[in-house]
Amino acid sequence: MDAAAHTVYVTNIATDTVSVIDETTGAVTGTIAVGAGPDGVAVDPAAHTAYVADGGGSTVSVIDETTVR
């Protein structure tokens, strides 16, 4: 979660995506394709970046938060 931006990121392991949710309204504002088996998200609010651990592919996807709002 990026508290300053009121944005929540939720992994969808079955579809290899991350849902972007507006914390204020609860609306899904976007869906982003990431690597295989996403199973964790870390957010750096200062850099406006979300990092998604992709367990199925042993990779990390990097999301520029400024492009998904």
Tell me the per-residue pLDDT of 37-62, one tens digit each, with 9 for 90 and over: 999 999 999 998 999 999 888 899 99
The number of domains in the chain is 1
**What is the predicted pLDDT for the residue at 69?**
59
**What is the predicted pLDDT for the residue at 31?**
95
**What is the predicted pLDDT for the residue at 58?**
87
Question: Taking 90 as the threshold, does the pLDDT of residue 6 lie above it?
Answer: no
What is the extent of the structural domain holding 24?
7-67
For residue 2, being part of any structural domain is answered with: no
Return the number of other C-beta atoms located less than 10 Å from residue 27's C-beta: 9
For residue 38, being part of any structural domain is answered with: yes
Query: pTM of this prediction?
Result: 0.86
**What is the predicted pLDDT for the residue at 17?**
96
For residue 1, being part of any structural domain is answered with: no
For residue 41, being part of any structural domain is answered with: yes
Place of tokens 């964790």: 40
Among 39, 47, 34, 33, smallest CA distance to 4 is for 47
